[in-house]
Amino acid sequence: MLAHVDMDAFYASVEVLDRPELAGRPVIVGGGARGVVSAASYEARAYGVRSALPLGLARRLCPQGVFLPVRMDRYRQISRVVMEVLASFSPVVEPVSVDEAYLDLKGAPILKAGPEAAGRAIKSAVQNVTRLTCSVGLAPVRFLAKIASDRDKPDGLTVVADLEAFLATVELREVPGVGQKSQERLRAMGLTRLTEVRALGAERLERMWGAFGLRLWELAHGRDSAELRPEREAKSLSHETTFHQDLADREALAAHLLALCQKLGRRLRHEGLEGRTVVLKLRHADFRLVTRRATLARPGADTAIIYATALGLLKGYPWPGPFRLIGVGLAGLAPAGQGQPGLFEDQRQARGRALAAAEDAVCERFGHQALTRAAALAKDGQHGHTGDGED
């Protein structure tokens, strides 16, 4: 039996936890005037506010809402506590984000009292330690546990005792991986529930969607081969800024990019990671998102190298803008020192490492704003919401 634990409106709930006077009010967490909603309390959702909604629209839908900035460090702090609680129930816990995780309860003592009792025990433990609620779904297979956890939010508990009976209730829009276009194509065939796709047959589904078609066939029969990975490692880290006003000035964009590269480099070195692929992200004024990538000669976490590579990608992008967002990330992560070193390390590389170590020490003691490169100071006074990313 697998359990999927999903914290309820996590970011917004943490804000209410830290500011009890906000209880019962529509709380909306997001980034800056030009950003998007990261989380909304259930009071805010009653007004139609949802995650990924532009903040401007959210303000029009819910003018009485309490709008707060994202505090990622605080959410990660609470997340670590949640994961420690979950680990007390099972040695196999797979966090999939800061606010959700899977548990393999096979052989766990808690399961002896039955799945429902196990789910209640998990919910109670999380709430007792964090004073936050979560919703739990229990099922024999992974994807149904996730669907079940979403059935009775907030503070819900759903147990899939009869697999076939529960499958018959699953709509295609609930199935992970079935996007809007796939739903529309299946709806045109008169299919809206997962079990209805059985009528198409495995071969036809494979012709329609290839490997995903075969997976959909398996899911329609309640089979999911995806296994839990208890020690998921980040494959990439990124930081981004959404501007209050669309920005086209390349010098100002470069300044923002350098500030992001500084933050990314410090985080990578703090976590003992190096990466091989620099990723530049740009969102146009019409919300169109583009990414550009470049591979480093050797894995690294040097701010100067990351910035030089990202700046080259920015200069090589032909569209003049304006842009709503700029971001930078490093992919292909691995623990520092595992990559093949160069035959000779020149003095410039050695100085770069020494400078980074000194910079990290200053920022560790006096805060991340204590030291910055002059070029990172935006020329036009533009400021934006800075976000983090981890995949």
DSSP 1-61: -EEEEEETTHHHHHHHHH-GGGTTS-EEEE-TTTSBEEEE-HHHHTTT--TT-BHHHHHHH
Residue 327's pLDDT is 93
Tokens at residue 35, please? 């950003």
Residue 248's pLDDT is 92
CA angle in degrees (0–180, nearest 5) for 124-130-136 = 45
Of 15, 43, 94, 100, the active-site residue reads 100
Active site (annotated) includes residue 100: yes
Q: How far is CA 233 from CA 94, 260, 292, 332, in A?
A: 10, 22, 23, 11
Residue 343's pLDDT is 44
* Inter-residue contact 78 to 16 (CB < 8 Å): no
Residue 191's pLDDT is 92
Residue 369's pLDDT is 52
β-bridge partners, 67 = 28
Q: Which residues of 94-128 are buried (b: 16+ CB within 10 A; e: fewer)?
A: bbeebbbbbbbbeebebbeeebeebbeebbebbee
CATH 3.40.50.2300, applies to 236-390: no
Residue 387's pLDDT is 53
Residue 380's pLDDT is 45
DSSP code of residue 194: G
Q: How far is CA 196 from CA 101, 147, 173, 200, 259, in A?
A: 29, 17, 13, 8, 51
β-bridge partners, 281 = 291, 327
* Inter-residue contact 353 to 268 (CB < 8 Å): no
Residue 384's pLDDT is 53
**What beta strand segments (E) does the chain contain?**
2-7, 27-30, 37-40, 66-68, 93-97, 100-104, 134-139, 157-159, 236-247, 273-284, 289-300, 323-331, 334-335, 384-390
CA 213 to chain CA mean position, Å: 26
Residue 388's pLDDT is 52
Q: pTM for this structure?
A: 0.65
In the CATH hierarchy, which fold is given to the domain comprising 10-72? MutS, DNA mismatch repair protein, domain I (3.40.1170)
* Inter-residue contact 306 to 316 (CB < 8 Å): no
Structural domain spans, the chain: 10-72, 166-220, 236-390
Architecture of the structural domain at 166-220: Orthogonal Bundle (1.10)
Residue 107's pLDDT is 82
Residue 129's pLDDT is 93
Give the pLDDT means over successive 10-residue stretches in the chain (391 positions).
96 96 96 80 96 91 95 92 91 90 89 92 94 96 95 94 95 88 90 93 89 90 83 72 88 94 91 91 85 90 94 92 92 73 48 57 50 49 50 45
DSSP code of residue 228: P
Report the alpha-carbon distance of residue 293 to residue 281 in Å, rounded.
9
The packing angle between helices 303-316 and 347-366, to 10°, is: 100
The sign of the CA dihedral 360, 364, 370, 376 is positive
Q: Give residue-wise pLDDT tens across range 16-29.
A: 999 999 999 999 99
DSSP string, 330-360: EES-EETT-SPPPSS--HHHHHHHHHHHHHH
Report the alpha-carbon distance of residue 85 to residue 133 in Å, rounded.
13
In terms of Cα–Cα distance, which of 290, 301, 232 is closest to 265?
301
